[in-house]
């Protein structure tokens, strides 16, 4: 007898989150509407249909933008700590619904249940961060060269922030953006991945309740759904001063060019091709744990997933043996079963990309230390379950230079000093996350120096995958240069203004210029 959504507890979770069998996919808060074509949400876990969502039509989109631009006028004048209070209430709502929302994330996307809960915890954490930030949106003061003058800088809200998120983190990345944007005084329009629309519907229900309870206007949080065409409406729209887009490099280049053509701002979080350098002074046990989780977590579908392991020749064989032994212990299966380490890929197109990458490695002459393949039989009927693979490879191969969103780890050897390993690490077009495993302080500091890792994230003795919300998240080169989450990432959601105040009865000019009348 097949397992049903009721058996998984998904129907109960959907009910708690206000998600129905067929859902309107467009919302300005508590107002839901739209009768566009339906998007099927099918779980990669077992190919069961979870629900359907109406796509946003052009007419729907215009209604959203009208409500959002109107709401901004009221939202921006609320004191920032009051906006922070709304975000605090949203964080509390997420705490209440962490279990059902985390389960829905796991089932709709295919990541492990613990990762699903962890993603909702990221949302809670960024809300906490944003609440504190709402009392710290600081500017700067500076001395004027003119007597009787004061100069300072301040930050103002931008307006409507457009958010385009990807399937692999269907709710956390939205929260990273929207929690900060809200306390900054912006309103948000969110286009989630068409592969994970139900988690977005659930999140919108939760924030809509908070906004309604506080008698706030429609339009502060908006949801639109659909394919790339819906995203194009937003990237071309001059009413959206900032578009934050997470996804592939190909997509990011299109977004960047489109938004730049109208002199708008874009915040891009794109592909990664992340490496861990393993030196002779590495703790091998720590190395294996970090590399395995980085390579197979979320079935290799994180932008920070470990793709390359660059190992010194002195410890290469030891690391290789330890890794292959660790892979034998991996349990692949239903992500709702917490005994399993690895769930499915998002869909069969991702499986095709995985198989293509393995075939290309073999064409290059690479040796598969742990063979891949698609799993079949009971529990694997969706066709989305694959075996995590390890291949000996060369950094310059075309397939290694690309990002394959799948659990394939490329193992490569370096000799000589650390500079050779850093050159390999930096020798790709992406620049998101990087790590070094070493107990040598000099090697660690060398890796973190100006001539070290060229990535936005550089770690010592932890892997490439996973990031705390307190630090700014993002990468360089073709990763896009954007920064989200912690540190001073909030500044991208605001416009900067320099102010000069003259409190005298004279009007001296800067640079000593004289203009007498």
Per-residue pLDDT of 313-365, as tens digits, reads 999 999 999 999 999 999 999 999 999 999 999 999 999 999 999 999 999 99
The whole-number average pLDDT for the span 400-409 is: 98
pLDDT category of residue 1 using cuts at 50, 70 and 90: very low
Measured CA to CA, the distance from residue 319 to residue 275 in angstroms comes to: 15
Rounded to 5 degrees, what are φ and ψ at 35?
Answer: -130, 35
Residue-range domains of the chain with CATH: 5-270+480-496 (3.40.605.10), 274-471 (3.40.309.10)
Measured CA to CA, the distance from residue 233 to residue 236 in angstroms comes to: 5
Residue 217: CB atoms within 10 Å = 17
DSSP collapsed to 3 states, 54-94: ECCCHHHHHHHHHHHHHHHHHHCCCCHHHHHHHHHHHHHHH
pLDDT per residue as tens digits for the range 478-510 = 999 999 999 999 999 999 999 999 999 999 999
- The yes-or-no verdict on residue 135 having pLDDT over 50 is yes
pLDDT the model gives residue 466: 82
The whole-number average pLDDT for the span 384-408 is: 98
Measured CA to CA, the distance from residue 140 to residue 148 in angstroms comes to: 18
Q: Is residue 413 a contact partner of residue 309, using CB atoms and an 8 Å limit?
A: no
Active-site annotation holds for 269:
yes
pLDDT per residue as tens digits for the range 281-326 = 999 999 999 999 999 999 999 999 999 999 999 999 999 999 999 9
pLDDT per residue as tens digits for the range 426-435 = 999 999 999 9
Q: Which of 127, 222, 303, 384 is catalytic?
A: 303
Residue 372: CB atoms within 10 Å = 20
Q: What is the mean pLDDT of the chain?
A: 97
Structure tokens at 150: 């004061």
pLDDT the model gives residue 2: 59
pLDDT the model gives residue 467: 84
pLDDT the model gives residue 378: 94
pLDDT per residue as tens digits for the range 208-249 = 999 999 999 999 999 999 999 999 999 999 999 999 999 999
pLDDT the model gives residue 6: 86
The whole-number average pLDDT for the span 27-49 is: 96
Q: What is the DSSP letter of 342?
A: B
What's the predicted TM-score (pTM) here?
Answer: 0.97
Cα separation values, 149 from 140, 152, 516, Å: 15, 10, 19
In a 3-state reduction of DSSP, which class is residue 311? strand
- The yes-or-no verdict on residue 265 having pLDDT over 80 is yes
Helix axes 197-213, 10-17, angle to 10 degrees: 40
Report the candidate in 433, 374, 361 with the shortest Cα–Cα distance to residue 402.
361
Q: Is residue 133 a contact partner of residue 213, using CB atoms and an 8 Å limit?
A: no
- In a 13 Å sphere around the CA of 156, the CA atoms on its Cβ side amount to 12
- The yes-or-no verdict on residue 23 having pLDDT over 60 is yes
Active-site annotation holds for 62:
no
Q: What percent of the chain has pLDDT over 90?
A: 96
Q: Is residue 203 a contact partner of residue 91, using CB atoms and an 8 Å limit?
A: no
Residues 6+ apart with CB under 8 A from 14: 5, 20, 50, 51, 100, 104, 198, 202
Query: Is residue 513 classed exposed, middle or buried when 0-12, 13-18 and 19+ CB atoms within 10 A define those classes?
Result: exposed
Q: Which of 269, 403, 443, 484 is catalytic?
A: 269
The whole-number average pLDDT for the span 360-378 is: 97
- The yes-or-no verdict on residue 3 having pLDDT over 80 is no
């Amino acid at each position: 007898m097949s397992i049903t959504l009721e058996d998984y507890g998904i129907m109960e979770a959907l009910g708690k989150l206000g998600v129905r069998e067929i859902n309107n996919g467009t919302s300005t808060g508590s107002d839901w509407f739209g009768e566009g074509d339906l998007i099927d949400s099918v779980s990669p876990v077992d190919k069961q249909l979870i629900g359907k969502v109406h796509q946003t039509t052009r007419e729907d989109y215009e209604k959203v933008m009208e409500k959002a631009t109107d709401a901004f006028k009221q939202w921006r004048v609320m004191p920032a700590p009051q906006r922070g209070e709304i975000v605090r209430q949203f964080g509390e709502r997420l705490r209440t619904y962490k279990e059902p929302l985390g389960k829905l994330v796991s089932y709709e996307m295919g990541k492990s249940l613990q990762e699903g809960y962890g993603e909702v915890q990221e949302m809670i954490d960024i809300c906490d961060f944003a609440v504190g930030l709402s009392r710290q949106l600081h500017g700067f003061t500076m001395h004027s060269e003119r007597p009787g003058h004061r100069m300072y800088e301040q930050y103002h809200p931008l307006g409507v922030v457009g958010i385009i998120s990807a399937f692999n983190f269907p709710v956390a990345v939205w929260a990273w953006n929207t929690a900060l944007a809200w306390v900054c005084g912006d309103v948000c329009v969110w286009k989630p991945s068409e592969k994970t629309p139900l988690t977005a519907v659930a999140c919108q229900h939760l924030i809509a309740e908070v906004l309604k309870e506080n008698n706030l206007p429609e339009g502060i949080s908006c949801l639109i759904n659909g394919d790339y065409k819906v995203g194009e409406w937003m990237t071309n729209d001059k009413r959206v001063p900032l578009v934050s887009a997470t996804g592939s490099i190909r997509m990011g280049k299109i977004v960047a060019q489109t938004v730049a053509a109208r002199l708008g701002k874009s915040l891009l979080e794109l592909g990664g091709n992340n490496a861990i350098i393993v030196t002779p002074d590495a703790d091998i046990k720590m190395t294996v744990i970090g590399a395995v989780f980085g390579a197979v977590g979320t079935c290799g579908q994180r932008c920070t997933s470990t793709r390359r392991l660059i190992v010194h020749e002195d410890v290469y064989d030891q690391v290789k043996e330890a890794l292959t032994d660790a892979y034998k212990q991996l349990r692949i299966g239903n992500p709702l079963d917490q005994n399993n380490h690895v769930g499915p890929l998002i869909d069969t197109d991702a499986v095709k990309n995985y198989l293509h990458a393995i075939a290309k490695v073999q064409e290059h002459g690479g040796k598969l230390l742990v063979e891949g393949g698609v799993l079949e039989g009971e529990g694997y009927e969706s066709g989305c379950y694959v075996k995590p693979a390890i291949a000996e490879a060369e950094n310059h191969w075309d397939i290694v230079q690309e990002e394959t969103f799948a659990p394939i780890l490329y193992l490569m050897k370096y000799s000589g000093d650390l500079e050779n390993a850093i050159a390999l690490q930096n020798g790709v077009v992406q620049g998101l996350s990087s790590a070094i495993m070493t107990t040598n302080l000099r090697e660690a500091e060398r890796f973190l120096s100006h001539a070290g890792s060229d990535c936005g994230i550089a770690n010592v003795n932890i892997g490439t995958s996973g990031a705390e919300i307190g630090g700014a998240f993002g990468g360089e080169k073709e990763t896009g240069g954007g920064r989200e989450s912690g540190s001073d990432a909030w500044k991208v959601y605001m416009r900067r203004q320099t102010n000069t105040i003259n409190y005298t009865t004279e009007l001296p000019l800067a640079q000593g210029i004289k203009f007498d009348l």
